[in-house]
Structure 1
Amino acid sequence: MAHVHHHHELQRDDLATAAQATLEKSGEQWTTMRASVYASLAGFAKPASAYDIADAVSKTEGRRVAANSVYRILDLFVGANLAHRVESANAYIVNAHPDCLHDCIFLVCDGCGQTTHLDDDRVTGDVRAAARAAGFAPVRPVIEVRGQCADCRRTLSDTVPAAA
Structure 2
Amino acid sequence: MAAHSHHEPHGDDLRAAAQAALERAGEQWTAMRANVYGALSSFAKPASAYDIAEAVSRSEGRRIAANSIYRILDLFVAANLALRVESANAYVANAHPGCRHDCIFLVCDGCGTTTHLDDDSLTGGLRAAADAAGFAAERPVVEVRGRCAACVAQVADRAGSSGQSTH
Report the TM-score, using the length of structure 2 for normalisation.
0.95
Q: What do residues 14-48 of structure 1 show as CA deviations (whole Å, max 9, x unaligned)?
A: 00001011111111110000000000000000000
Q: CA deviation at 1:9?
A: 1.2
Partner of 1:72: 71
Superposition pairs of residues 9-158 of structure 1, within 5 angstroms: 9-158=8-157
Secondary structure of the corresponding residue to residue 27 of structure 1 = coil
Q: CA deviation at 1:104?
A: 2.0
**Counterpart residue identity of residue 27, structure 2:** E
Report the TM-score, using the length of structure 1 for normalisation.
0.96
Q: 1:67 to 1:163 in 2, by over 3 A?
A: closer
Matched positions, count: 163
Q: CA deviation at 1:162?
A: 2.5
Structure 1 runs, 4 residues or longer, greater than 2 Å off: 161-164
Aligned equivalents of 2:73 and 2:91: distance in 1?
A: 8
Identity %: 69
Aligned equivalents of 1:146 and 1:122: distance in 2?
A: 20
Secondary structure of the corresponding residue to residue 93 of structure 1 = strand
Q: Which runs of 5+ in 1 are unaligned?
A: none
**Counterpart residue identity of residue 23, structure 1:** L
Aligned equivalents of 1:99 and 1:162: distance in 2?
A: 50
**Counterpart residue identity of residue 63, structure 2:** R
